[in-house]
Structure 1
């Protein structure tokens, strides 16, 4: 009996050794496959909420990380700041929609690493495609929009326009915000406000999608030209244009107040600013021109 027990113990040790060796081989094999199979690398890297638009429809996700980011608002607050040189020193400069730099370099800088674009602004980029997709070919474009415009079955007219650009300029990096990521942004808004965005008739702004993206890719965010949620209610607030490049047209605070109280279809700009202030208490976010008192 004693010999039989030793024999069983020996066999168990033998099988354990083989199992350990097999696991080691599997780990090594998995490492080799990942190193040599580019498709495996593509599937396991990047932010899955942002998918590249390519003629071949291959799954490529945004793979970008920045230490220090400058998030530049399109607000008239940027005028006469002289912040351009300071902005251009950051690792990544993030802009929105079709906000130009030419002619405003002294205040807003010249470099653009990432441009977050609303579906409504895509036609403006296409209209000036030689500038946005040839001269600014090093810029990464992240486009958001509702499924009816961004669907990929041939019926999404904004997606179709972007796909055409991707075919004409294959080096340009254009990403779409996925349906799942938009739902995530909706849930973020509801978690912070307690209100269902759709039921309250609100649309998230490009600024909201931009801030979410910046939190995803930046270690520290320096926000330029964005007012806080109390700015327009203060008696001594300044009157500035809604966009720095559209002077004499829309007033920023009037636009914000109209949208904030619209029953249907408005952006909740002021509410979004209150959300950013909350996020800044536990993320590395700094606001300049004007600075915020958190």
Structure 2
């Protein structure tokens, strides 16, 4: 009897051990550095940075192999013909079949003149406030922005004025423009801040976002806007999500910023990222707002911002892309003194 109990106990503990290992595999335990530790890490690295062409080409190949951004980043007539099923990347069991209604509003093929040269990817982090990075951002050949950020005169010294591609999350269309159900005028007027840019909308990520996204397209088309709406290809978004999950980002969904950085790494020869800093204090250890224009925090249920930053910081240290965290104005003054 004692022997039987002993064997049973060993079996139970072995089973629990296997279950624990499975749990750790699915939900790995890791420690994100504290805000202070990240400040110390960035300050240790300093402002010196040099591009590593080998690392750039390696990452471009990795993204091409997994996600093919040049061909697949947007829904086009070429990659999504009539009858094709577009499976939503943000939820299970829902899809959109390309019909005679949606097919005509897709661009023929990728409209960008590739390869792009110097690209600025501008996040909306509060670290941009008082950074003086506006001129530097605007000197890039191609500038990407996230989720229709404000570009009024209060902010242009820090974030610049030019835009070549800006993402527009359907949730913003819902909250700021009431899903375009009652009026389209304020939406069309607000979009003028982005000039003749591409408006990049994930219309086929989640089913509730499809109709507002299509309304946004028609609102701009009917107003003879000089902007081009590009619908994010859900296959591209899904594959980029898998790519970063395999590299240590475990959020339910990537942030728009990381999607755009991934796109830039696949399309651009040089990438500089601004406004990516998900920590509560800056390099001077003073409090930093979440956005440069407000302090509304994202839902932690969806994004894993610190994990994303750590991956981008790794790419910065390897010379694959450049992260601008400190003050651009301060660096300009130092360069002038040296001259």
TM-score category, normalised to shorter length: 0.5 to 0.7
In structure 2, do the counterparts of structure 1 residues 266 and 134 end up closer, same or farther at CA, with 3 Å as the change threshold? closer
State the Cα deviation string for residues 223-250 of structure 1 (Å, max 9, x = none): 112227xx5599973311111112xx44
* RMSD (Å), alpha carbons: 3.1
In structure 2, do the counterparts of structure 1 residues 135 and 234 end up closer, same or farther at CA, with 3 Å as the change threshold? closer
Q: What is the SS of the residue equivalent to 2:168?
A: strand
Aligned counterpart in structure 2 of residue 109 of structure 1, from 129, 146, 160: 160
The one of the two structures with greater contact order (alpha-carbon pairs below 8 A, sep at least 6) is 2
2:307 aligned residue? 271
Q: What is the SS of the residue equivalent to 1:188?
A: helix
1:240 and 1:61 mapped to 2: Cα distance? Answer: 41
Q: What is the SS of the residue equivalent to 2:270?
A: strand
In structure 2, do the counterparts of structure 1 residues 173 and 208 end up closer, same or farther at CA, with 3 Å as the change threshold? same
In structure 2, do the counterparts of structure 1 residues 165 and 130 end up closer, same or farther at CA, with 3 Å as the change threshold? closer
- 1:164 Cα offset (Å): 1.8
State the Cα deviation string for residues 192-239 of structure 1 (Å, max 9, x = none): 1285x5xxxx122111211111112211111112227xx559997331
In structure 2, do the counterparts of structure 1 residues 133 and 275 end up closer, same or farther at CA, with 3 Å as the change threshold? same
Unaligned 5+ runs, structure 2: 1-68, 78-101, 328-339
Asked if structure 2 preserves the Cα contact closer than 8 Å seen for 1:46 and 1:63, the reply is no
Q: What is the SS of the residue equivalent to 2:246?
A: helix
Q: What is the SS of the residue equivalent to 1:62?
A: coil
- 1:62 Cα offset (Å): 2.9
Asked if structure 1 preserves the Cα contact closer than 8 Å seen for 2:316 and 2:322, the reply is yes
1:121 aligned residue? 172
Asked if structure 2 preserves the Cα contact closer than 8 Å seen for 1:74 and 1:96, the reply is yes
1:186 aligned residue? 241
- 1:182 Cα offset (Å): 1.7
- What are the residue-to-residue correspondences of 1:9-158 with 2, within 5 Å? 47-51=71-75, 56-64=104-112, 65=114, 66-103=116-153, 104-123=155-174, 124=176, 128-134=186-192, 136-144=194-202, 146-150=205-209, 156-158=210-212
- 1:112 Cα offset (Å): 0.7
1:203 aligned residue? 253
Higher strand share: 1
1:33 aligned residue? none
**What TM-score comes out, normalization by structure 2 length?**
0.57
Q: What is the SS of the residue equivalent to 2:171?
A: coil
Q: Does 1:287 find its partner at 2:338?
A: no
**What TM-score comes out, normalization by structure 1 length?**
0.65
- 1:167 Cα offset (Å): 3.0
In structure 2, do the counterparts of structure 1 residues 111 and 269 end up closer, same or farther at CA, with 3 Å as the change threshold? same
Q: What is the SS of the residue equivalent to 1:90?
A: coil
2:290 aligned residue? 242
With 281-290 and 54-63 compared, the bigger mean Cα shift is at 54-63
Which of the two has higher C-alpha Rg? 1
With 109-118 and 159-168 compared, the bigger mean Cα shift is at 159-168
Asked if structure 1 preserves the Cα contact closer than 8 Å seen for 2:148 and 2:168, the reply is yes
Q: What is the SS of the residue equivalent to 2:217?
A: helix
1:118 and 1:89 mapped to 2: Cα distance? Answer: 26
